[in-house]
Amino acid sequence: MSIGLEHYLVLSTALFSIGLYGALAKKNAVVILMSIELMLNAVNIAMAAFSNYIVPVLLTGQVFVIFIIVVAAAEAAIALAIIMNIYRNRETTEADKFDLMKW
């Protein structure tokens, strides 16, 4: 059985769901960030699969993947800087202890 678009899309959905579970269920902010990176990668696989199977000459999906990677890199740098800043002030990386601004 040859590999089609659906295989890549279902794989991408599986990776996205695993990342969603990690982002919702984990305490450590670094692990939450890693789960978000997993979700971004899953979306990138879906984009590249659409690009290959539906618009193979226009490459629109691959252009989107490049911009998603740019935004993911910026997001990772900022998020890790924020996490390290909070760790310096509050000695923890657990997301449910970041409650300074909670009512």
Partner 1 sequence: MQSIVFWLLAIVSIAAALSVVSARNVFRAALALVLCFVTVAGLYITLNADFLAAVQVLIYVGGIAVLIVLAIMLTREIQRGSQSNRLRIPAFLLAGLFFAVVAFALVNTGWKISTDDPLVPTTPALASRLIGPDGFILTVEIAAALLLAAVLGAIVLVREK
Is 49 a residue that touches partner 1 (CB under 8 A)?
yes
9: how many CB neighbours lie within 10 A of its CB? 16
What is the footprint of partner 1 within residues 19-48 (CB under 8 A)? 19-22, 24-28, 30-31, 33-35, 37-38, 41, 44-45, 48
State the nearest-atom distance from the C-beta of 15 to partner 1, in Å.
Answer: 5
Rg of the chain on CA atoms, in Å: 17
Is residue 96 exposed (0-12), middle (13-18) or buried (19+ Cβ within 10 Å)? exposed
Please, which of residues 62-91 interact with partner 1 by CB under 8 A?
62-63, 65-67, 69-78, 80-85, 87
